[in-house]
Chain A
Amino acid sequence: MPFLGEPRLGSSPSGHLDTLYPVIPPFSFTDQQHHLINQDSLKGKIYVADFFFTSCPTICPVMKSQMLRVYEAFISEPDLMILSHTIDPYHDTPDVLSRYASDLGVMASRWKFLTGSRDSIFNIAEHYLAFANTDESAPGGFIHSGAFVLIDKQKHIRGYYIGTQEKEVDRLIADIKILLYEP
């Protein structure tokens, strides 16, 4: 499976000059159970990330119904996590996210709904090659990408999928099966 993002030259762990692909930088967010989630919480796991907000009237519900397919396909696979970041942290508190997750019927151990400072969320979105910003002219007040981003155990971006399209999500499910076998 490919590595995505703009590569740069740098020294590899063994000290040689190598092509290095971007990794998701360290982060720290709060999940729907008020637990702190950072890169250590995902050690040895691969995950799918996306950006949304609970009052989003347009693409988010479709994204969530598609992400639910991913969740259900890997319900017995503890090495896959899902991280949904809210881009509306003023409204989407951990308690709101907790109700959203329980209405969706998903377990917090597998699907984290994350909130944090708006700047840190908008900033991390760029590292996932997904954009997120405020836009007063957009329904709901935000614009954001509908991408699902697949991250490997070393935090490299390994896949990028349109989260509103069934065929794209089928491709994501197939890719997860492959990526789970990588060390």
Chain B
Amino acid sequence: MNHKHPLFFLQIIIPIVLIFIMLIFLPRFSSMQKWEGQKIYNRHCASCHGKEGNGLKNLFPAIRESSITAPQDLVCLIRNGRNSGSVVAMPPNQTINSKEMKLLLIYLYKEIFRISVPNLLSEEVEKGDAFCNP
């Protein structure tokens, strides 16, 4: 006869409980991250580029279909602003810290550009900051 250890059932129960805990907390973590990113986006970007990233006519560019998507380029653009010859220039922003910058970029990728978040984002943001703020 196959003799089982009395605590054999724990081998099944413990992983199941762990999976449940992960299922409960993972979405919360990611929605909190989204909420934080959205707050930063709304505070610094949405008044010109719009809550959905659609911009306003020819005055403020739509960023939904942005051609600039590399993390370092985005960090530089946000830090230094941009004067593309339009009547309104994008102002530089040095007040966002690098943790907020990462949350903002995640929000931009997921909710505005709707593309996948690049790998090693934290490192890319740091590189961008080092490169743009000599």
| Chain A residues packing against B (C-beta within 8 Å) | 54-55, 57-62, 64-65, 68, 96, 99-100, 102-105, 139
Contacts and interface: CB of A to CB of B under 8 A. Distances in A.
B86 A103 contact: yes
A65 B59 CA distance: 10
Interface string B55-71: 01111100000000000
Interface of B: 47-48, 50, 56-60, 86-89, 91
Contacts of B89: 55
Contacts, number: 42
A136 B86 CA distance: 25
A55 B86 CA distance: 11
A60 B88 CA distance: 12
Contacts of A61: 47-48, 56, 59-60
Given A58-B47, A59-B47, A64 B59 contact: yes
A100 B88 contact: yes
A70 B89 CA distance: 25
B2 to A, nearest CB: 69
Nearest to B51: A62
B91 A57 contact: yes
